Homo-oligomer: A and B are copies of this chain.
Amino acid sequence: MTLACETCPVRDSAACAVLTEEERDALAAAGRTRVLARGEMLFAAGDEDAACATLVSGALKVSAYDAEGNERILSLVHPSGFIGELFAPFAHHDVVALTKSTLCTFARRDVEAAIETYPALARALLRRSQEDLLASRSLLELTAQASAETRLAALLHDFAAAASDTSCHLAQDFELPLTRGEIANMLGLTIETVSRKLGEIEKAGAIARNGKRGIAIVDPALLRTLSGRC
């Protein structure tokens, strides 16, 4: 299946947005659209010819596993995000779909060729990479020495901000993209602790829960206080 860039929802925000129409069409000729179901894997740690991809819709997780086989989620990927380690001989982490997702995939050699041909693409990917680095470091800050409640409140705050259209405002209510276990794996906690602290944050009056995944922000200021951010 070839790519229909004209109708692509992330046409203006993905890395390829920096290309001219002709350049973009040339790149698209090398790419393929792919749809992943929830839980389906894009590639696994150790794969030698891991594809590169731009996420068009849905959500992905990037995760590693420790010696005992416990999953650790290192990053979430949202639409217009780019996936792919260009200079490593093999993939370092697993990439799995959290929900049904559509991607634009490319062979790594094609992307490597493209960044040689189109310098603007290299700069766009550099920008994305630096943003990923900031996101990774902010997760690192989160899981530092903060209490379980603080970590969870901060994560909820981030999700609310991500679910909102305007980046500085919080969404009124939204659906958690992750299971309790996945939240625990992101924050370095256990499922039970996440469940308990969610209950406490609700009892404190900062949020309300709607079913298993639904969250409504009741008191944004309180949530912000709990999250320990000024």
Q: A residues engaging B (CB < 8 A)?
A: 62, 64, 66-68, 70, 72, 74-75, 85-88, 92-93, 115-116, 119, 122-123, 125-127, 129-134, 136-137, 139-141, 143-146, 188-190, 228-230
Contact = CB atoms under 8 A, between A and B. Distances in A.
Contact of A143 (B125, B136, B144): B144
A93 B137 contact: yes
A145 B191 CA distance: 12
A228 B67 contact: yes
Given A119-B119, A228-B66, A188 B86 contact: no
Nearest to A225: B67
A interface, by DSSP: helix, strand, loop or mixed?
mixed
A161 to B, nearest CB: 16
Contacts of A190: 145
The 4 closest A-B pairs by CB, nearest first: A119-B119, A129-B129, A136-B136, A122-B122
Contacts of A125: 126
Given A72-B145, A136-B136, A136-B140, 12 more contacts: A66-B144, A86-B126, A86-B127, A87-B127, A115-B123, A119-B122, A122-B122, A122-B126, A126-B126, A140-B143, A143-B144, A145-B190
